[in-house]
Amino acid sequence: MSKFIQTNGRHRTIEGWPLVFTVLTVICVLVGGTVEFLPLVLMEGNIPVISSVTPYTPLELAGRDLYIREGCVNCHSQMIRPFRDELERYGDYSKPGESVYDRPFLWGSKRTGPDLARVGGKYPDLWHVRHMEDPRSTSPNSIMPPYDWLLSKTLKLNDLPAKMRGLKSLGTPYSTADIDGSVEDANAQAENLARNIAANGGPEDLADKEIVAVVAYLQRLGTDLTKLTN
Amino acid sequence: MMIVRFDDQIVRYFVIATAIWGFVGMLVGALIALQLPFWQANLGEYLSFGRLRPLHTNAVIFAFAGNAIFGAIYYSTQRLTKARMFSDLMSRFHFWGWQFIIVSAAITLPLGLTTGKEYAELEWPIDVLIAVVWVVFAVNFFLTLKIRREKHMYVALWFYIATIVTVAVLHIGNSLALPVGLFKSYPLFAGVQDAFVQWWYGHNAVAFFLTTPFLGLMYYFLPKAAERPVFSYRLSIVHFWSIVFLYIWAGPHHLAYTAVPEWAVTLGMVFSIMLWMPSWGGMINGLFTLRGAWHKLRDSVVLKMYVIGITFYGMSTFEGPLLSVKTVNALSHYTDWTVGHAHAGALGWNGFMIFGMIYWLLPRLWNTKLWSERMANAHFWVGTIGMLLYVMALYSAGVTQGLMWRAFDDAGHLVYPDFMETVIQIVPMYWVRLVGGLLYLTGMIMLGINMIMTIRTAKEKPSDAAISVAA
Amino acid sequence: MSKMDSNPKTSVSDEPLISGHNYDGIEEFDNPMPGWWVWMFVACILWTPVYILGVHQFGFINSYEDDLSSSQMELAQWRADYEAANPTAVATEESIAPFVNVPQNIEAGATLFSTYCAMCHGAAAEGLIGPNLTDDYWIHGNTNSNLFDVITNGVLEKGMTPWGAVLDVDQRSQVIAFIRSIHGSNPPGAKAPDGELATPND
């Protein structure tokens, strides 16, 4: 060691060899990431499969991409930690197998608002609509920005087949029928949701608006695990 | 003998771009800091918090700090190698390509075109462009090393090498995605694996974009400004290689208690703790280099800036390992403590090192005197006070909220079952943080004014420095 | 000019400069690494296998599961201790009745209502997403214990949140006192009746 770093030691030699110096640096840099990452890919025991976890429906997928577009992840985590207070507040802690279809993962790094990993089913659909339109109407003192444009902007579904084909090639088990019928499927789910919202006294004309996709996604979050216990 | 004239024009470009983007990035930061306690400041679809926050982080990291480190590298590499940059054309491609990328980010992020991955939000066409520009930069840099007239590479160059190769690896690794539209892609990895790759990238963006190039910057500009030899060559060697080797492992500490397997987080934590001393090696070599030059601080705003910068480097690199300890992370994670930590590093270390460098470079690049030493001094104080207010506010907000989340009463119920109660409690701290941020921004504006006036008072067209070397 | 200024490089000590190390005028000292620095570094490295093996092999340091189960056991113990010290019988018609018509309970109930219930039932309980609570029609019965059960366990299929973990028994009884106090208030914008016509003591 001391021979290596002393004045005019070995290190002095490689200081004159930029190529060698660069190669050594690259090697040093690659070791850590490789050693940590390979087991996550190669060893299945690290991410136990949960049979009830299924891919997002086309409408949920569209909603998820809107959730990404609006940057919800900047303030809301989707990752319940194994602490008793989080179990009380949010429900069972998040399992590795629950996010196998999450591209990208949306665990977040900051909770300016509450965790959403298990928000699915916690509030009525109409609650979410009103909350997005004006957060303070359902949650007094909330600091969340309003997302009222979600109630007026038309939901675009025509890119769903391309998105689902992409996800399929990455490993999400969508069938060809799923992909071919994706727009129809999304429309049906959206109409269902919109009917329920209207029946509860909400706005009448939301079936082709972005908000229904976002609500569909939010109502899905964390519910795969309860399907298993029921 | 022959004359080697350096390309200082490219450095002037980068220095000016640093000041412009620094102002823009911090202005967006101030807006989103206002949006937290005052939701009415969310100005509709394109200017709401969720879309502007990535714009702020991208602007201050890749535009402000990015242009600064490129300026530092172009200035010091030419002098340390006694060679002009290999290709002026590549240098200019690098500069304009990078500015184009920044403008693309400033347009696409408010439009909601984002990957959703922190500090890597830009969609795939821009990612491709970043890779191309970075490779041109790397080729230009390494070919300059090849034509160098100094046999050995000084420590600053080691850090530049580590920066250039590692950022390339990280950027490409984390951007592996399948495009499904012009501005939409899905990452190659999902869930746990995607989370790991993201924080391997995210943590090492801090390491190799905000640490190693700044250490290189420090090793060049600090001894120049202090006119003192570097404290210890041996320490340079040991802390360089240990940083380069250890940093990469620390990424999973961002995922403590998540669904990522605990063994990975354990590795992230122990390597973070092993990193503490290597990081402090940089601080020691910086501060000890000032021995015998402390009296110069009185008259040198540049050195004052560096002392604050290096001190905050030491503080942040102590706090980092501390926050990686699982039980500490259990309290701090998801709270504003993390945001406070990031800003102690960004405002204290990166910001002040950049300010010090710019105040040192301005008179040299434009062959004149700094327009106002007094204003530079005022910048130092306004910036320091602003930064302290900022981090103190967020530390107290973070600890307060973390403790409230986990509080149980005697009956075994959560004391604050309603999340809102924990938010209301910290809103006053968000106002204090805004004041701190505005003070820091004020300092940045002072730098801008000083820069404009210095350039305007420069008598003639600036000329590039030259040295004579053996033919 | 002080001596220090005129010859800064030798002003600190007789540290050796490394000959041949001069880059654009920057020189380097051949100082050793500070001893404390080396030993702290070594200590951090030595601690690494201790921690890794402690968590993942020998178990003398708690893993996630260890920490969670011990803290959950502690929580259960707190609850048991509290229950033993403050026995709260399960709420019954008899235990809730004394809360009703008491102004301070109605006031406390009103505060709780606006925090937890108004978001779905409306600020004046006129009905919003959830039903109107001021009329004579009830979906899940109208006895005090019916109300208590719905508040405690929620009605998940209809979107009603369970509040049993959030509101203690007294608080739930106070909310009932408040609801009783606004019966027949016929607030503006009242939602149409839903459920069965029912009086409290059916």
* Interface residues from chain C to A (CB-CB < 8 Å): 18, 30, 64-65, 67-68, 71-72, 75, 114-115, 118-120, 128-130, 156, 158-159, 161, 165, 191
Q: What is the mean pLDDT of residues A27-37?
A: 94
Task: Nearest by CB to A127, from C114, C115, C129: name it.
Answer: C129
Element (H, E) at B178: strand B177-181
Cβ–Cβ of A89/B146 closer than 8 Å? no
Candidates B160, B83, B26; CA nearest to B439 is B26
For residue C111, what pLDDT is reported?
A: 87
For residue C3, what pLDDT is reported?
A: 37
For residue C198, what pLDDT is reported?
A: 76
Cβ–Cβ of B405/A68 closer than 8 Å? no
Q: Does the structure show a pLDDT above 70 at C202?
A: no
Residue C125: partners with Cβ closer than 8 Å, 6 or more residues away: C113, C117, C118, C132, C133, C134, C179, C182, C185, C187
- Cβ contacts (< 8 Å) between A166 and chain B: which residues? 178-180, 185-186
- Cβ contacts (< 8 Å) between A87 and chain C: which residues? 72
- Cβ contacts (< 8 Å) between A32 and chain B: which residues? 245-249, 271
Does B147 fall in a domain?
yes
Candidates B70, B48, B221, B64; CA nearest to B133 is B70
Contact A114, A86 (CB under 8 A): no
Q: What is the mean pLDDT of residues A86-109?
A: 96
Task: Tell me what percent of the residues of chain A surpass a pLDDT of 70.
Answer: 98
Cβ–Cβ of B198/A104 closer than 8 Å? yes
For residue C4, what pLDDT is reported?
A: 40
The band of C161, judged by pLDDT with boundaries at 50, 70 and 90, is: confident
For residue C2, what pLDDT is reported?
A: 39
Task: Nearest by CB to C129, from A7, A84, A124: name it.
Answer: A124
Cβ–Cβ of B266/C168 closer than 8 Å? no
Task: Tell me what percent of the residues of chain B surpass a pLDDT of 70.
Answer: 100
Q: Does the structure show a pLDDT above 70 at A14?
A: yes
For residue C106, what pLDDT is reported?
A: 93
For residue A3, what pLDDT is reported?
A: 77
Cβ–Cβ of B408/A69 closer than 8 Å? no
For residue C201, what pLDDT is reported?
A: 52
Instruction: Return the axis-axis angle of helices B66-81 and B88-108, rounded to nearest 10°.
Output: 170
For residue C87, what pLDDT is reported?
A: 74
The band of B69, judged by pLDDT with boundaries at 50, 70 and 90, is: very high
d(C-alpha B233, C-alpha C23), whole Å: 13
- Cβ contacts (< 8 Å) between B114 and chain A: which residues? 68-69, 71
**Where do the domains of chain C lie?**
93-197
Measure A200 CA to nearest chain B CA, in Å: 25
Q: What is the mean pLDDT of residues B434-443?
A: 98
For residue C11, what pLDDT is reported?
A: 45
Contact B221, B213 (CB under 8 A): no
Q: Over the stretch B11-54, which tens digit does the pLDDT of each residue have?
A: 999 999 999 999 999 999 999 999 999 999 999 999 999 999 99
For residue C10, what pLDDT is reported?
A: 44
Cα torsion angle, C11, C13, C14, C19, sign:
negative
Which chain C residue's Cα is nearest to A88?
A: C165
For residue B108, what pLDDT is reported?
A: 98
Which chain C residue's Cα is nearest to B272?
A: C44
Span of A190-199, B181-190, B212-221, C127-136 with lowest mean pLDDT: C127-136
Which chain B residue's Cα is nearest to A164?
A: B180
User: What residues pair up with C29 in beta bridges, in sequence order?
Assistant: C17
Q: Over the stretch B246-292, which tens digit does the pLDDT of each residue have?
A: 999 999 999 999 999 999 999 999 999 999 999 999 999 999 999 98
**CATH number of the structural domain spanning residue B47:** 1.20.210.10
Domain interval for residue B40: 2-327
Assigned token pair, A206 = 């939301």
Element (H, E) at C18: strand C17-23
The band of C7, judged by pLDDT with boundaries at 50, 70 and 90, is: very low
Does B425 fall in a domain?
no
The band of B386, judged by pLDDT with boundaries at 50, 70 and 90, is: very high
Average pLDDT, chain B: 96
Q: What is the mean pLDDT of residues B355-371?
A: 96
Task: Nearest by CB to B244, from A7, A29, A102: name it.
Answer: A29
Task: Tell me what percent of the residues of chain B surpass a pLDDT of 90.
Answer: 95
User: Alpha-carbon dihedral of residues B217, B395, B391, A73, nearest 10 degrees?
Assistant: 80
Which one is predicted more confidently, B315 or C13?
Answer: B315
Cβ–Cβ of C29/B230 closer than 8 Å? yes
The pTM (predicted TM-score) of the whole model is 0.91
Cβ–Cβ of C68/A83 closer than 8 Å? yes
**Where do the domains of chain A lie?**
2-42, 58-228
- Cβ contacts (< 8 Å) between C25 and chain B: which residues? 224
- Cβ contacts (< 8 Å) between B152 and chain C: which residues? 21
CATH class of A58-228: mainly alpha
For residue A123, what pLDDT is reported?
A: 87
Q: Over the stretch B221-259, which tens digit does the pLDDT of each residue have?
A: 999 999 999 999 999 999 999 999 999 999 999 999 999
Residue C55: partners with Cβ closer than 8 Å, 6 or more residues away: B262, B266, C61, C62, C63
Assigned token pair, C148 = 């208590």
- Cβ contacts (< 8 Å) between B341 and chain A: which residues? none
Does B266 fall in a domain?
yes
Average pLDDT, chain A: 93
Neighbours of chain B (3+ CB pairs under 8 A): A, C
What ipTM was predicted for this assembly?
A: 0.95
Span of B78-87, B88-97, C104-113 with lowest mean pLDDT: C104-113
User: Alpha-carbon dihedral of residues C156, C159, C160, C166, nearest 10 degrees?
Assistant: 80
Measure A168 CA to nearest chain C CA, in Å: 33
CATH number of C93-197: 1.10.760.10
The band of B10, judged by pLDDT with boundaries at 50, 70 and 90, is: very high
Does B340 fall in a domain?
no
Candidates A210, A223, A219, A224; CA nearest to A65 is A210
